[in-house]
């Protein structure tokens, strides 16, 4: 039974890393003008589709600071904290 919780903790950690990469793609792509076709445009579209459900609620609650959108930074912190808590919980449960 404990092996299941260890694998769940590893899965949460991997999903956190994947989310961070996808969010970084979205952040970097926001600095460049959109193109009509190409691999970068597809990566931008996919990263937008994957991160918008997390960024939209944060964006509604946190105002812009000048022209700077802080929602990706807040999402980094929230996902990191949630991941840390879930991994700690799963590893704690793996002991028993």
Contacts of 19 (CB under 8 A, 6+ apart): 50, 51, 79
pTM for the whole structure = 0.84
| CB contact at 8 A, 62 and 74 | yes
Could you read off the pLDDT of 13-57 as tens digits, one per residue? 999 999 999 999 999 988 887 776 778 888 888 999 999 999 999
Question: What residues does each domain of the chain span?
Answer: 2-94
């Amino acid at each position: 039974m404990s092996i299941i919780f260890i694998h769940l903790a590893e899965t949460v950690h991997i999903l956190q890393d994947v989310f961070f990469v996808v969010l970084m793609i979205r952040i970097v792509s926001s600095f460049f003008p959109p193109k009509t076709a190409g691999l970068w445009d597809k990566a931008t579209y996919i990263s937008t589709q994957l991160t918008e459900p997390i960024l939209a609620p944060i964006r509604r609650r946190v105002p812009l600071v000048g022209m700077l959108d802080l929602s990706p930074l807040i999402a980094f912190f929230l996902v990191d904290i949630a991941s840390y808590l879930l991994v700690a919980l799963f590893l704690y449960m793996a002991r028993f």
